[in-house]
Structure 1
Amino acid sequence: MVLWLLILLPALAGGILLVFGRKADGAAAPVSVLVAVVLLGLAVAAALLRPAVQVPGLEGIPAGLAVDGLAAAAVVTVAGIFLAVIVFAGPDLASSEARARFFGLMLLFVAAMLMTVTSTGMLTLLGSWELMGAISYALIGYWWPDAARVRSATLAFITTRAADLGMYLAAGAALAGGAAGLRLDALALMPGGWRDAALAGLALAALGKSAQLPFSFWLSHAMAGPSPVSALLHSATMVAAGGYLLLRIQPGMAATGWLGPAVAWVGALTALLLGAVAFAQRDLKQLLAASTCSQIGFIVLAAGAGSVAGGAAQFVAHAAVKSLLFLIAGAWLTALGTRDLLELRGVARGSANGSVLGYRTAGVTFTAGALALGGLPPLSVWAAKDEILAGVLRESPALYIVGLAAAAVSAAYAAKALAVVWAKPAPSVSGRANPAASVSDAGPAAAAGKRQQHRLPTTALLPLPVLATAAVVFGVAGVPAVSRWWQDLLGLPETATPAPWELAVSAILALAVIGGIYGQQTRRLLREGMLVGAPAGNRLTAWLGNWLGLEHAASVLITRPAMSLAVSLARFDDRVLARSIDAAAVLVLKAATGTDRRIEHGIGAAVAGIASTFRQLARSARRPQTGLIHQYYAQAIIALTVLAALFVVLR
């Protein structure tokens, strides 16, 4: 019952809000908060009780859900982050229209994610995966009158859908290979060829959903949605779902012998290169988006290298940190009307209209999140990354070096963001907002270009200290005793933990990079009013700022062909199929008319003639019936005479 409620409660609440539409706008936010509170309680209960359910699906393929150790960590994380985001979203979208549509979609979105992390087989996984992708399109393009936002949503949807084809390949291979009930834990037991095809298909779908190379660019366009959408999508739901799926199928990837190392290298390179992309950004939300690809890359690296406990720890730590940073970025964007880093100089110090407390609260919590993101010890991401890198070092020293370099780049972009928000404000910069980055998440109406400062709503600030505390406190996972408890909680065998020298190396590296970049950025901001690593001046920074040119490559290989095919099919539908149907209808109508005029008319005339003849015969037959006996005798004599004559003639 707990597991059914965990999925059905947000799904039903979201469906009701969508059905009632604008009539439910006023109640949408409080209802969603109430559902989120209950959902968190159900998630904790499910983590403790570990329920499992199975119902008939297709013939021989049941639909199953279960909460094991890995799913327990995921459901509590997803429910907790969802509650924080929903509390923030109420005042953040207070002036927006169609609030019931927004909150209804968010509830359905989290229901799909909860179903994804508890799925035991590919039947339920496929359904939730598809639902999550479709709702993400609706949320990213929430302000649908803005064509640019709809284009971004379409690009993100097409890109992830292209990768999702791998899941259908996986389902077909699993059926052909005889995986029992399409269960995920049965994939490793299939014959080699079908096993490799199924797991490679799942890995492809997961890499696309998690915006790993070469699919990373779509996450840049996901910024077109409201800030609460970015906070949920980037932290604990859709983007994290791919990394979670790879952790789930890690035994199968290990059984192939080749897929695990391939996935690990994709994750390591994504962590490194997209970290460099994040450092090159001037737009705060784009910096955070690229950093999401980088941080999820560590989860992918963990799955490929067999460090499931470390990957799960990174899943939880990243969810807390990234939701915190995106919510604060959204608050600043709504209050100031910009997300350009140069425009945000000194925003953590307070606002010009005297509202210091809210901005300071946001600034302090942003600092905690950024330092955790940069891997500063003993904060959460530092502990999780070191656990991952400890497992990686045992598998491949080369991978370890790349992972360590990616951790250093994480410290660099975190320090860059911190240097900006704590720098001394420069009034001369306030008129130079980047037009592309100054569109408020409050919707198209906020894009008028007026630079105003508003107070940060108190209720929107409530989740920030909680998330910041989680980002800090979860660092205790780096303590060996706690690390072993975490592995027991997940139900995993004891794995390698980082040695003291490994902890020291990562700690010194993070401290050195954060300190160096922070000082360098601060000096340049004071001296030149410019940022280090902004996409201007040379080709390398421009290439990094443009997300490695991945969008152009994907446009040539995926999006343009897909859109061209869609347009061609639409034209074929309109000009060939529709016209053929219209022509067929006209021909049928003409044939019916001709049949009516020629055949039906002739048949009707023949029937009428026969009827007239029988009527005449009937009238003639009534004439002899006079009632006079002598006439009947005369008729009888005549009839007998005729019969006698016929008898004589015919004889």
Structure 2
Amino acid sequence: MTGAQIALVTMVALPAVVGGVLAVARTERSAAPIAVLTAGVATVLAVFTAAARPSTSYPFLAGANFALNVDALAALIVPMIAAVTFLVLVFAAGNIRRSRSRFFGLMLLFSSSALVTATAASLPALLFAWELMGATSYALIGFWWRDSDRVSAGLTAFITTRTADLGLYVAAGAALAGGAGMDLASLSSAADPWRDVAAAGILVAALGKAAQLPFSFWLSGAMKGPSPVSALLHSAAMVAMGGYLLLRIEPLLASTGWGGPVTAWVGVGTAVLMGFVALGQRDFKQLLAASTVAQLGFVVLAAGVGAVNGGAAHLVAHASVKALLFLTAGAWLSAVGTEELESLRGVARRWRVVGVAATAGALALAGIAPLSLWATKDSVLTVALVSSPFLYAAGLVAGALSAAYAGKLVWTMWARPGTDWEIRSQGTGKVTALEQAPLAAFAVGAVTLGVLALPPLLGVLADAIGGPAEVSIGELAVSAGIAVVGLLAMVWVRAPEPRWALEWFGLEAAAHAVVVRPVLGLARALAWFDDKVVDRSLTMLSGAAYRLALTAAWADIRGIDRGVSAIAIRVGRLGQLARSPQTGAIHQYFLQTVTVLIAAVVVWTLCTMMG
């Protein structure tokens, strides 16, 4: 193996090994330093592998390979995953105070699965990482396991995404049936109709992980996990990886004819509807969760219209913005003791460093020029305009909603607090230096990462990843104007909250009605059939077999055994009679012979006379 290949394997294996040890160990004091050091080493290795672009492959089942590859797309995403993990763990070192060994171990495992997902070049590698992400997300969302609501939220997330994940297995079977093999790059060469089946399977799995419609509801419950978990899950790990996978398989979507348009409309539809959901929320993390789904809708839209470079840039910039805002929510939850927006009014006035950083993130989320998400979002909308004016119009609506719910955050953070501030403040009353340092780093990213979608870096990304190399100045101006108007309107006028979107459009209730209840009903019917029919039939059959065995045993003891014994006695007596002539005297043997001959002559004579 080359040095670059060793670095690639170490980058994904080191967090997994250290995380596995920490998760089962009880090293509470040293867990945070070990995890932060491990994440730091992984970040250095990620930057090195992004520059070296190594690939490696190992034999797997059925002739398939467990293949990892750092191509141009992965080279952009892998350092983002590693760096976000490192900064989130630094924050967690000052925020998580109980069960630290288990927490940091699971976080390292979570980040390792995201790194494998980003570098996976074959379906076996992708499936392995996909499953590990789902399992660790369940453990992290329900981390405070003594709270049944948190555990239930983790279970909802796991079951929902796990159901969608079945699409990956369908896609793997279709790839083999279509003769394309198991490499992701070769899926578009599968024969019809298997290519369409593979595209549909991966699309469903990716939409489930990215919490796009109709799977969005699971992300609401996931907010019950610790804030560092929410920050990593939304920005650089599981949810982001759903959008990343669609960017990865964009050639497959385009080859089907239907895959691109369907993906694009699901993405922009999610961006609009979840924008309304975010606008209606009254909880800081719930608003951020809905906004994550909406912003990832732009990434999904990018995969649908072929703007891979714009989608990748948006994914990276969004990771910095969303990690910043979720960690801000965690810092204020510890300091104030609440996530309710009404109770957080004026909180930025009390912790100004955190408030300024969070404001930078909120303004970037709104799409205010020249901050990051303004340029990255518009690089996607520029391509959408060429593809369909209706897609573009829907994207502008989604952008306006982004400005509105971001304006809601800005107003809440800087509004004058009520007179009962001290009564409402039930937290620690402080934000530690370890909590503030990562916020500053993420704020820099939220402000500057838009350069990825602007010349000259836009052309570099287009040449390396694919997608358009130009951006529309007119579209940038229109979008920037809409963002400013939407933000100011929300801050000054305070637009009414859409209460009808507060419960995420009842998606969870709909899922229970359409999927959960019918499945449970079928399960109960099968259980009744098993208990009342199958079990009773088997019980009756076993009873009949038992009675038959008893009858056979009785017949054996009473009939066959006695008959065999009687025959044996008679044979024994005959044997004794047969032995009686055996005296050993020659004259007796002679006499017996003569007797037999005489008897034979008599019998022969009688037969002759009668014949």
Residue matched to 2:7:
2
User: Which of 436, 441, 447 is matched with 1:472 structurally?
Assistant: 447
- TM alignment of 1:342-381, pairs within 5 A: 342-350=342-350, 359-381=351-373
Per-residue deviation, residues 524-546 of structure 1 (Å, max 9, x unmatched): xxxxxxxx434xxxxxx221112
C-alpha deviation, 1:91, in angstroms: 3.3
Cα distance in 2 for residues equivalent to 1:188 and 1:154: 34
Residue matched to 2:379:
387
C-alpha deviation, 1:379, in angstroms: 1.6
Whether the 8 Å contact between 1:162 and 1:558 is mirrored in structure 2 is no
- Go from structure 1 to structure 2 and tell me whether the alpha carbon gap of 1:621 and 1:49 turns closer, same or farther (over 3 Å shift): farther
SS of alignment partner, residue 54 of structure 1: strand
Whether the 8 Å contact between 2:90 and 2:438 is mirrored in structure 1 is yes
Q: Which moved more, 1:379-388 or 1:188-197?
A: 188-197
- TM alignment of 1:293-304, pairs within 5 A: 293-304=293-304
Q: Which moved more, 1:562-571 or 1:263-272?
A: 562-571
Cα distance in 1 for residues equivalent to 2:564 and 2:44: 80
- Go from structure 1 to structure 2 and tell me whether the alpha carbon gap of 1:238 and 1:611 turns closer, same or farther (over 3 Å shift): farther
Whether the 8 Å contact between 2:307 and 2:466 is mirrored in structure 1 is no
**Aligned-partner residue type, residue 182 of structure 1:** M
C-alpha deviation, 1:201, in angstroms: 2.1
SS of alignment partner, residue 59 of structure 2: strand
**Aligned-partner residue type, residue 543 of structure 1:** W
- Go from structure 1 to structure 2 and tell me whether the alpha carbon gap of 1:474 and 1:612 turns closer, same or farther (over 3 Å shift): farther
C-alpha deviation, 1:416, in angstroms: 0.9
C-alpha deviation, 1:292, in angstroms: 0.3
- TM alignment of 1:68-87, pairs within 5 A: 68-87=71-90
- TM alignment of 1:365-444, pairs within 5 A: 365-428=357-420
With structure 2 as the length reference, what TM-score do the two structures score? 0.88
* CA RMSD after TM alignment: 3.2
Per-residue deviation, residues 110-131 of structure 1 (Å, max 9, x unmatched): 2222222222222322232233
- TM alignment of 1:176-255, pairs within 5 A: 176-179=177-180, 181-255=181-255
Q: Which moved more, 1:567-576 or 1:78-87?
A: 567-576
Residue matched to 1:560:
517
Q: Which moved more, 1:305-314 or 1:237-246?
A: 237-246
Residue matched to 1:157:
158
**Aligned-partner residue type, residue 373 of structure 1:** L
Whether the 8 Å contact between 1:120 and 1:184 is mirrored in structure 2 is yes
SS of alignment partner, residue 465 of structure 2: coil
**Aligned-partner residue type, residue 76 of structure 2:** A
Say whether residues 1:327 and 2:332 are aligned partners: no
User: Which of 433, 457, 465 is matched with 1:458 structurally?
Assistant: 433
**Aligned-partner residue type, residue 305 of structure 1:** V
Residue matched to 1:513:
486
Say whether residues 1:642 and 2:589 are aligned partners: no
Q: Give me the identity figure in percent.
A: 48
SS of alignment partner, residue 234 of structure 1: helix
Cα distance in 1 for residues equivalent to 2:437 and 2:567: 93
Residue matched to 2:272:
272
Say whether residues 1:102 and 2:103 are aligned partners: yes
Cα distance in 2 for residues equivalent to 1:268 and 1:425: 36
Cα distance in 2 for residues equivalent to 1:17 and 1:615: 80
Whether the 8 Å contact between 2:73 and 2:312 is mirrored in structure 1 is yes
With structure 1 as the length reference, what TM-score do the two structures score? 0.83
Say whether residues 1:481 and 2:431 are aligned partners: no
Cα distance in 2 for residues equivalent to 1:58 and 1:42: 29
Whether the 8 Å contact between 1:159 and 1:558 is mirrored in structure 2 is no
**Aligned-partner residue type, residue 16 of structure 2:** A
Residue matched to 1:11:
16
Residue matched to 1:30:
33
SS of alignment partner, residue 56 of structure 2: strand
C-alpha deviation, 1:469, in angstroms: 1.4
Cα distance in 2 for residues equivalent to 1:620 and 1:190: 89
- Go from structure 1 to structure 2 and tell me whether the alpha carbon gap of 1:606 and 1:28 turns closer, same or farther (over 3 Å shift): farther
Cα distance in 1 for residues equivalent to 2:538 and 2:47: 56
Q: Which moved more, 1:320-329 or 1:500-509?
A: 500-509
C-alpha deviation, 1:138, in angstroms: 2.5
Whether the 8 Å contact between 1:281 and 1:533 is mirrored in structure 2 is no
Cα distance in 2 for residues equivalent to 1:413 and 1:41: 36
- Go from structure 1 to structure 2 and tell me whether the alpha carbon gap of 1:500 and 1:619 turns closer, same or farther (over 3 Å shift): same
C-alpha deviation, 1:6, in angstroms: 2.6
SS of alignment partner, residue 91 of structure 1: helix
C-alpha deviation, 1:303, in angstroms: 0.8
Whether the 8 Å contact between 1:543 and 1:549 is mirrored in structure 2 is no
Whether the 8 Å contact between 1:174 and 1:194 is mirrored in structure 2 is yes
- Go from structure 1 to structure 2 and tell me whether the alpha carbon gap of 1:192 and 1:426 turns closer, same or farther (over 3 Å shift): same
Say whether residues 1:310 and 2:310 are aligned partners: yes
- Go from structure 1 to structure 2 and tell me whether the alpha carbon gap of 1:88 and 1:623 turns closer, same or farther (over 3 Å shift): farther
Cα distance in 1 for residues equivalent to 2:112 and 2:439: 23
- Go from structure 1 to structure 2 and tell me whether the alpha carbon gap of 1:114 and 1:572 turns closer, same or farther (over 3 Å shift): farther
- Go from structure 1 to structure 2 and tell me whether the alpha carbon gap of 1:429 and 1:33 turns closer, same or farther (over 3 Å shift): closer
Residue matched to 1:126:
127
C-alpha deviation, 1:132, in angstroms: 1.9
Larger gyration radius, structure 1 or structure 2 = 2
**Aligned-partner residue type, residue 399 of structure 2:** A
Per-residue deviation, residues 15-55 of structure 1 (Å, max 9, x unmatched): 3334x35x344443333223212221222222122121222
C-alpha deviation, 1:576, in angstroms: 6.6
- Go from structure 1 to structure 2 and tell me whether the alpha carbon gap of 1:575 and 1:67 turns closer, same or farther (over 3 Å shift): farther
- Go from structure 1 to structure 2 and tell me whether the alpha carbon gap of 1:100 and 1:504 turns closer, same or farther (over 3 Å shift): same
Say whether residues 1:547 and 2:547 are aligned partners: no
Whether the 8 Å contact between 2:349 and 2:355 is mirrored in structure 1 is yes
Whether the 8 Å contact between 1:391 and 1:496 is mirrored in structure 2 is no
C-alpha deviation, 1:344, in angstroms: 0.4
C-alpha deviation, 1:334, in angstroms: 2.3
The size of the alignment, in residue pairs, is 596
Cα distance in 2 for residues equivalent to 1:89 and 1:581: 56
Cα distance in 2 for residues equivalent to 1:161 and 1:479: 38
SS of alignment partner, residue 65 of structure 2: strand
Per-residue deviation, residues 173-223 of structure 1 (Å, max 9, x unmatched): 3232221x1222222223343222221221122122211122222211111
Q: Which moved more, 1:387-396 or 1:138-147?
A: 138-147
**Aligned-partner residue type, residue 545 of structure 1:** L
SS of alignment partner, residue 55 of structure 1: strand
User: Which of 495, 498, 515 is matched with 2:471 structurally?
Assistant: 498
- Go from structure 1 to structure 2 and tell me whether the alpha carbon gap of 1:492 and 1:212 turns closer, same or farther (over 3 Å shift): same
Residue matched to 1:533:
496
C-alpha deviation, 1:467, in angstroms: 1.4
- Go from structure 1 to structure 2 and tell me whether the alpha carbon gap of 1:127 and 1:573 turns closer, same or farther (over 3 Å shift): farther
C-alpha deviation, 1:509, in angstroms: 2.4
User: Which of 55, 64, 70 is matched with 1:52 structurally?
Assistant: 55
Residue matched to 1:524:
none
Residue matched to 1:443:
none
Residue matched to 1:136:
137
- TM alignment of 1:251-262, pairs within 5 A: 251-262=251-262
**Aligned-partner residue type, residue 449 of structure 2:** F
Residue matched to 1:440:
none
Residue matched to 2:115:
114
- Go from structure 1 to structure 2 and tell me whether the alpha carbon gap of 1:247 and 1:429 turns closer, same or farther (over 3 Å shift): same
C-alpha deviation, 1:93, in angstroms: 2.3
**Aligned-partner residue type, residue 214 of structure 2:** P
Per-residue deviation, residues 524-580 of structure 1 (Å, max 9, x unmatched): xxxxxxxx434xxxxxx2211121222222221123333444555566667777777
- Go from structure 1 to structure 2 and tell me whether the alpha carbon gap of 1:8 and 1:622 turns closer, same or farther (over 3 Å shift): farther
Unmatched 5+ stretches in structure 2: 1-5, 602-611
